[in-house]
Amino acid sequence: MMHHIINLFGNLLSPAAQKFLHTLDNPQKMQQSVQQEIVYRLAKSEYGKFLGINSIADWHRIPIVEYHEIQEWVEKQKKTKAPILTPDPILFYEKTSGSSGAAKWIPYTQSLRSSFNHMFCVWAHDLIQHGPKFSTGKIYFCISPQLGNDATTESGVKVGLKDDSEYLDGWLRQFLSPFLVSPPGINSLRNPEEFKNKLSQTLLLEENLEIISIWSPTFLKVHLDYIQKHQKRLVSELGNKLSAERQKLLLKPEIPWTKLWRELKLISCWDSGNAADGAGFLRSLFPGVTIQGKGLLATEAPITIPLIAAQGCVPLIDEVFFEFADEKGKIHRLHELEMGNVYKIIISQKGGLYRYRIGDRVRVTHFYKNTPCLEFLGRSEEISDLVGEKLHSEFVREIIESLPLEGTFFRSLVPATFPQEHYILLLDTAKQPADAIARQLDDALMRSHHYKKARLLGQLSPVRVLVSRQIPETLTMYKTQAGSKWGDLKHQLLVTKPIEQKLLVELEKLSYTVV
């Protein structure tokens, strides 16, 4: 019966999916149509009138921008329901970290939400057609705790979503509602430990869980660790709600996760850039379960879709208008991209962002039909992002300069992935104890919205500080032995690539013996 309903759902999604697949034959034509639709909206907004936009012929008048360059327009939009950035009503705002640690406020219209909805439909249809044979349909969509007070803007528009399903249109949420695994009342929780307990209980009670959709793979790892650590208490709390067999599994020294969720077939999460190791860890925990990368999905827009049929990630060409800056800064359209080249993405979407630098780099891996498939390489060099915390170099610089580090000349904040994801501040000297500096640094980094959430959830461990006069020399020697030219070396204030374990062990030994 359930298999029949899943096939029915696939048939329901088929028209949208087939139409999208057809557009991949002629991406240039489709992109011109999307560009025309976006220009039409822009021309009716105050921002468009300010720029003098009337038609596609005026496209060159639209500046290529980052968030801070349009922040005053977003702030105007937040205060009123007037058509500042778009003529469409704003449904809600999503907050994400900005370039200096301050939050970015991304407006969502019905058209933008429909873009996410369309992406989901194409993705789900591809999974039903080409993925594992689903039988229960039970799906957990990532729910992140608000960890703060509910908010609205000055104009009364709500801020934030309860869970990922709210990216979908109402009809689709209603259809999926019987399949969604969601802890009752979890949206009202503000305490991270209560949140983890409630979610862990709900996941344990769902024997037929078949799909897990999260962002960072560490989000799931945190909850699996929580279950393992509190296994006896959870068994006691759940009592006879758990079968005797599941109680035995849950009490094992090493919980056999695939036996606990025998129906689990798919985990959708980030698996590129800094998330690659975390996704690999989930693959080791769940052999036989498909761990599928999410492609490139940003708060600002859905960008690429992982398609099994394409064997890669295809850009959402019928909803977002794409431009790409090459390594020399030259701008290219989608149909002009070349195999193997690396580009920075510039998007124009249907929610009020035009020629917006998303801050992500991609490589063209191959072509599906006539459309380039894009591999996400990571953020621009100024951003470190282990689990979604998005620390920007200017924000980090401001924080480190505020610390009591008089007489300290070498300062470098480096990400580490073991024993758990966290940051380490490397110093040559320090007048205050390392643990005191670490506490101050961690508290200051909490000013970043996403860093604070990752810390409170346990996705990031507290910052550590290592101090030794030999650290700069050791780093230099390590890099030169790896092939770098000594004269070209620049020690970054914020390193974006996680430190190698061998090097970290060496630095830890130095900090223990020479301070």
- DSSP codes joined into one string, 459-485: SSPPPEEEE-TTHHHHHHHHHHHTT--
Name which residue leads in pLDDT, 382 or 514.
382
343 plus 252 within the same structural domain: no
Does position 486 have pLDDT exceeding 70, yes or no?
Answer: no
Say if residue 163 is in the same domain as residue 184.
yes
Give the three-state DSSP class for 195. helix
Report the range of poorest mean pLDDT among 197-201, 216-220, 357-361, 385-389.
216-220
Q: pLDDT tens digit string along 109-122?
A: 999 999 999 999 99
Report pLDDT for 410.
85
Question: Which residues are 374's β-sheet partners?
Answer: 364
Considering 255, 277, 293, which residue would you say is the last residue of a domain?
A: 293
Structure tokens at 46: 């105050």
- The dihedral over CA atoms of 428, 431, 434, 440, expressed in degrees to the nearest 10, equals -110
Per the domain annotation, does 47 fall within a domain? no
* Contact call for residues 321 and 31 (beta carbons, < 8 A): yes
Q: Return the pLDDT at 290.
A: 95
Q: Are residues 242 and 348 in the same domain?
A: no
Query: Does residue 502 fall inside a structural domain?
Result: yes
d(Cα 119, Cα 349) in Å, to the nearest integer? 13
Q: Is 272 in the same domain as 329?
A: no
Q: Which of 30-39, 262-271, 409-418, 470-479 has the lowest mean pLDDT?
A: 470-479
Q: Is residue 119 part of a domain?
A: yes
Let me know: does 218 contact 281? Beta carbons within 8 Å: no
Contact between 239 and 201 (Cβ < 8 Å) = no
Instruction: Using the 3D structure, point to which of 379, 401, 427 is the last residue of a domain.
Output: 379
Vertex 437, ends 435 and 438: CA angle to 5°? 60
Q: 11, 22, 38: which is closest to 368 by C-alpha?
A: 22
Report yes or no on 62 lying in a domain: no
Long-range contacts of 313-316 (CB under 8 A, 24+ apart): 313/373, 313/374, 313/375, 313/376, 314/24, 314/368, 314/371, 314/373, 314/374, 315/371, 315/372, 315/374, 316/115, 316/118, 316/119, 316/122
Cα–Cα distance for residue pair 287/256, rounded to 1 Å: 11
Region for residue 140 given its phi and psi (left: phi exceeds 0; alpha: psi -120 to 50; beta: otherwise): beta
49 in a domain, yes or no? no
3-class secondary structure, 116: helix
User: The domain containing residue 260 runs over which residues?
Assistant: 2-28+86-293
On the question of pLDDT at 142 being above 90, the answer is no
21: pLDDT strictly greater than 80: yes
Specify if 245 maps to a domain.
yes
pLDDT given for residue 166 in this prediction: 73
Same domain, 174 and 286: yes
Q: Choose one of 349, 379, 409: the last residue of a domain.
A: 379
Per-residue confidence (pLDDT) for residue 483, from 0 to 100: 46
Do 374 and 387 belong to one domain? no
pLDDT at 157 over 90: no
The pLDDT value recorded for residue 511 is: 83
Q: CB under 8 Å to 300, separation ≥6 — which residues? A: 106, 347, 349, 353, 356, 358
- 99/172 same-domain check: yes
pLDDT above 70 (res 480) = no
For the cut 50, the answer to whether the pLDDT of residue 485 exceeds it is no
Q: For residue 72, is it within any domain?
A: no
Of 127-136, 211-220, 442-451, which range is least confident?
Answer: 211-220
> Please, what is the end-to-end C-alpha distance for the chain in angstroms?
68
**281-289: long-range contacts (C-beta < 8 A, 24 or more apart)?**
281/217, 281/221, 282/217, 282/220, 282/221, 285/224, 285/257, 285/258, 286/257, 286/258, 287/258, 288/258, 289/258, 289/264, 289/265
Q: What is the pLDDT of residue 40?
A: 96
**Is the pLDDT at 310 greater than 90, yes or no?**
yes
Q: Which two tokens stand for residue 329?
A: 């800064």
Which element (helix H / strand E) includes 323? strand 321-325
Residues 6+ apart with CB under 8 A from 221: 278, 281, 282
SS3 label, residue 326: coil
Distance of alpha carbon 192 from alpha carbon 446, whole angstroms: 15
Task: Report how many domains make up the chain.
Answer: 3
pLDDT tens per residue, range 171-195: 888 888 888 898 877 767 777 788 8
Q: Which SS3 state, helix, strand or coil, does residue 36 take? A: helix
Inform me whether the pLDDT recorded for 381 exceeds 70: no
For residue 101, pLDDT beyond 70 = no
On whether both 407 and 280 belong to a single domain, the answer is no
Say whether both 374 and 390 belong to one domain: no
Residues 217 and 278 in one domain: yes
Residue 413: φ, ψ to 5°: -95, 120
388 and 372 share one domain: no
In a domain, 133, yes or no: yes
Q: Is 425 found in the same domain as 361?
A: no
- Give CA torsion, residues 356, 358, 364, 365, to 10 deg: -150
Any bridge partners for residue 90, and if so which? 109
pLDDT higher than threshold 50 for residue 169: yes
Task: List beta partners, residue 267.
Answer: 212, 291
Burial class (CB in 10 A: 0-12, 13-18, 19+), 428: middle
